[in-house]
A and B are shown apart, each in its own frame.
Chain A
Amino acid sequence: QVQLQESGPGLVKPSQTLSLTCSVSGDSISSGRYYWSWIRQPAGKGLEWIGRFYSSGGTNYSPSLESRVTISVDTSKNQFALNLTSVTAADTAVYYCAREGRGGTLWWHFDLWGRGTLVTVSS
């Protein structure tokens, strides 16, 4: 059974860097069959895609966050990480990691999600 689990500090000070890790069990993030993404949900708002990496080493980021975001991978630990710099209160949100696959179809979809972790930006 494949599972994703987010971890990291629940409180980050303004202007500092938010760092989260997603640990994947039951599947290899190097398999090449999936994209691995970060998605967030500010309180009372909808879901926002942050970015993704794929096993060939490439990344894609949301244009609204691209200047502050880095997604990296540690294949030895089967983990991928999110770094978001210069955070403000607007970055307070529940952060999810998610797997995106095609399930034999032409199009991609987020078929597996972590339970999410709340990160609050406050001094």
Chain B
Amino acid sequence: IQMTQSPSPLSASVGDRVRITCRASESVRSSLNWYQHKPGKAPKLLIYSATTLQDGVPSRFSGSGSGTDFTLSITDLHPEDSATYYCQQSYNTPRTFGQGTKVEI
């Protein structure tokens, strides 16, 4: 299953609301996860099963969608949100990731 993200990159300002979209080449139902990745660090799980916020992740992050179209929203953008964001499907193997969206603040 191919995962396609847009836009890339994304430039925004502190306090903005941003949306990153992810489209699957076929339905993955709700098996869609979002990760935040900063240089030199391990990727961090933000959202799983399309809409569930991982423990400890700020509530300004949210996910929506099902089937083939998904969105990661970040409200009230903070400087520390500067990172690359990846979607990933777990509907089947091989597990596949989107190409990433770099958020520049």
Contacts and interface: CB of A to CB of B under 8 A. Distances in A.
Interface of A: 37, 46-49, 52, 60-64, 96, 100, 103, 105-111, 113-116
Contacts, number: 67
Interface of B: 29-31, 33, 35, 37, 41-45, 48-49, 52, 54, 86, 88, 90-91, 93-100
Contact of B43 (A61, A107, A113): A113
B86 A110 contact: no
Contacts of A37: 95
Contacts of A106: 30-31, 49
Contacts of B52: 103, 105
Given A47-B97, A60-B93, A63-B94, A110 B49 contact: no
Given A110-B45, A113-B43, A115-B42, A100 B90 contact: yes
B33 A109 contact: yes
